[in-house]
Amino acid sequence: MKSQIITVFGGAHIDRRGRIFGTTVAGASNPGAWFEEAGGGGFNAARNLARLGLDVRMISPRGGDSVGEMVSSAALAAGVDDRPFTFLDRRTPSYTAIIENDGNLVIALADMELYNLFSPRRLRQRALRETISESGLILTDANLPAETLAALTQNAHTQGKIVAAIAISPAKVIRLLPSLAYLDFLFMNEAEARAVTGQDVTDAKEWPVLLRESGLKGGVVTRGGRAVVAFRGHEVASIVPPRLDALGDVTGAGDALASGFLFALLQGSSVGESLRTGVAAARLTVASPLAVSENMNQQELKSAIALVPEAEILS
């Protein structure tokens, strides 16, 4: 299991979430509570994959501050080989959200400018070239600049690596448009799929067709509690996620699904079985208050898979 190196590029920052206790009153002080933890789509996926026993490296810009140290500590705790490049005079990126009592987002502030300093030129550094060469799978999120994503994915694709990406948001996934032909899988929700294709559908089975026409070879589209669909070429599978009796926090669920899917794929599983594993990993995560469940390990994942129905093979 440790022989396959995975290198993850992208977001590794701090997530701050403030939840209002009662009814939200705009323009006023609202009683509530803060919670903060290390986060970022790429970093969440990296920690999940490391907890599942894989050899994972994380490449991300970092500030020379206490938040950067917090991220490094989280990487160490999860078993991730953390390889940041640090800007001593900058702040580590952050995401700060205010959430209503029912879980809906009121407003959020993403301070992510540091990621724009990850230029394509950095990929030419010897250490990064060697890391990519040694890896079997390259995973990135869309927090990085479009030109960097294009250079990274093209390089990895040319070397015959498995290349995957996490969309992050409708606004950020468009940075991956020049990279679609180099991706083996793109993990996204329906809003992000609409941003990629410029179209909307009512039937999940239509997404693979539209995404293939956009240049993708494979991908996964999540739809909240409705059927999630995955495809690779003309192989298509779908699963309706089982309902949970109680939810902890949905933060990180999509990153966990990508992690479980890729974990199974690297073991030689089919698209359908990889999707089932991904849904199980997401299930473990939404049952936890953390973006990366402390219960994410092979044994717990195996138990969670047993609670997920087998995928329906659509083609």
**Same domain for 133 and 188?**
no
**Same domain for 112 and 193?**
no
Domains contained in the chain, number: 2
Residue 176 inside a domain? The answer is no
Residue 165 inside a domain? The answer is no
Mean pLDDT of 110-126: 94
**Same domain for 134 and 191?**
no
**Same domain for 217 and 134?**
no
Residue 178 inside a domain? The answer is no
Is the model more confident about 240 or about 147? Answer: 147
Q: Is residue 26 predicted with pLDDT exceeding 80?
A: yes
Mean pLDDT of 256-277: 96
Q: Is residue 181 predicted with pLDDT exceeding 60?
A: yes
Q: How confident is the model at residue 8 (pLDDT cuts 50, 70, 90)?
A: very high
Residue 120 inside a domain? The answer is yes
Contacts of 140 (CB under 8 A, 6+ apart): 8, 9, 10, 42, 149, 152, 153, 164, 165, 166
- Render pLDDT for 151-162 as a digit per residue (tens, 0 to 9): 999 999 999 999
Q: Which domain holds residue 21?
A: 10-139
**Statement: the pTM of the whole predicted model exceeds 0.85:** yes
CATH number at residue 16: 3.40.1190.20
CB 128 within 8 A of CB 152: no
- Render pLDDT for 211-264 as a digit per residue (tens, 0 to 9): 999 999 999 999 877 889 999 999 999 999 888 655 555 677 899 999 999 999
**Same domain for 133 and 220?**
no
Please state, rounded to an integer, the average pLDDT across all residues of the chain.
92
**Same domain for 129 and 204?**
no
Residue 16 inside a domain? The answer is yes
Residue carrying structure tokens 């992000």: 192
Residue carrying structure tokens 């999630």: 228
Looking at residue 174, what is its pLDDT?
97
Residue 161 inside a domain? The answer is no
Looking at residue 2, what is its pLDDT?
40
Mean pLDDT of 129-139: 97
Q: How confident is the model at residue 110 (pLDDT cuts 50, 70, 90)?
A: confident
Residue 148 inside a domain? The answer is no
**Same domain for 117 and 199?**
no
Residue 64 inside a domain? The answer is yes
Q: In what order do the strands lie in the sheet with 105-111?
A: 32-39, 13-20, 94-99, 105-111
**Same domain for 227 and 280?**
yes
The Cα 204–Cα 303 span in angstroms is 27
**Same domain for 197 and 108?**
no
**Same domain for 18 and 131?**
yes
Q: Is residue 22 predicted with pLDDT exceeding 80?
A: yes
For the ranges 101-105, 240-244, 258-262, 271-275, which has the lowest average pLDDT?
101-105
**Same domain for 315 and 191?**
yes
